[in-house]
Amino acid sequence: MWLGAERFPLQATALRQLRLEGVSSLRLYILIDEFRDAALSTDALTYIRAEFGKARDAGLKLIPRFAYNFPQGGSYPYQDPDAPLNRVLEHIAQLQPVLRDNADIISFMEVGFVGAWGEWHSSTNKLVDPSPKLTVNDASRAIVERLLEALPKTRTIALRYPPHKQQLFGEKPLEVTEAHTGTNRARTGAHDDCFLASDTNWGTFPQDPTAREAMKTYLELDNRYLPQGGETCNVGADAQPFIGCDNALKDLRRAHYTTLNRGYHLDVYARWEREGCLETVKRHLGYRFELLESNMPDALKPGAAFALKLQVKNDGFAAPFNPRGVAVVLRAQTGGKTVRLTITDGSSLPENRSLDPRFWVSGTTTNLETTLQLPADLEPGRYDVLLHLFDPEPALTTRPEYAIRLANQGVWEAQTGMNKLRVLEVK
């Protein structure tokens, strides 16, 4: 069991090294196999809370998944037991305070709990229907609804199989009008733990080619506003037509991938390195914002209102899916005094969606236009103008590790988490 035997606990030194290597999100498997027939112990909950704390200290966000087993061999359907529905719901209720207290450092949460590896197949307690594999039942629905309830409405979950979301919430992909409104459908994304493994990603998609293409189109549209995570899992003959760079890049962009497990499958990544696309994948997972244009006056008087126009291109595979604030910060070149002009604080959905980075979707260029006003008592002088794309969670707003770095060269300030745009003369 992960607790008593110290099975791969997070290590502070290793986490800091990951951050230095540019890793910002970490998938955290939490095996609770010793509690299939019991409530989670106080020691277990304390341990889980401490793991979140280690990630926070290192400046990382977590993608947690709870599971009752972790098979090391065998074949589908796996026989390793999960837990009965009442136990799963009890555990989610026990975990709710931990999840809510640490929601600010949860990137998204894989639903887990069900079946082998928490991957929503091979359930020994009929938590998902075994035949056909991709069918939810009342137990499945109860788990999804309870987990969404356990998390604040600002956080999303991810289901392993796309048909499950359609069965739960309907076959239409998420529209821009519903995105980030807090509905359960708008809070349910995807993870694919056999990306590129075969023509169906080893059962992720239907066998029928027409149905498979329709499902991929559904994900392409739905994932514009939601997380898509996962991992590669196969380098066998059935994967060879799909794991090469050309197809991988096409599918990563089409499905709007946010994260990939860099630890598996290493042979797939070795091929990407040989074919020259590994660094491209690393740079484009998630969002990648490039500032194309920044327009505002070069000189202003104290108290003056002014128009600001920013043109931002998102060349990443995906868009942000958690709340994000936008502010312009003026910093005096003499003395360092700062003035903060907030465009959106990230606490609610702005009427003008172009002001919200979650709507700067992949493959688009967004024009952000707004009017700001200098304080009337602003002292004359030269000010650096900085763009702060900050995490609105109170404990993270001032932490540079949690701010968005623009892709432009020479603008990022690692010590502040801000992007330097220009210089303003106040006189």
* Residue from 110, 220, 225 nearest 158 by CA: 110
The least confident of 14-23, 80-89, 280-289, 312-321 is 14-23
User: pTM of this prediction?
Assistant: 0.96
Query: What pLDDT, on the 0 to 100 scale, is given for residue 134?
Result: 77
Query: What pLDDT, on the 0 to 100 scale, is given for residue 3?
Result: 40
pLDDT band for position 9 (cuts 50, 70, 90): confident
Q: How far apart are the first and last CA of the chain?
A: 66
Tell me: pLDDT of 238 over 70.
Answer: yes
Domains and CATH numbers, the chain: 12-284 (3.20.20.80), 289-426 (2.60.40)
Across residues 123-148, what is the average pLDDT? 93
Query: What tens digit of pLDDT does each residue of 169-214 get?
Result: 999 999 999 999 999 999 999 999 999 999 999 999 999 999 999 9
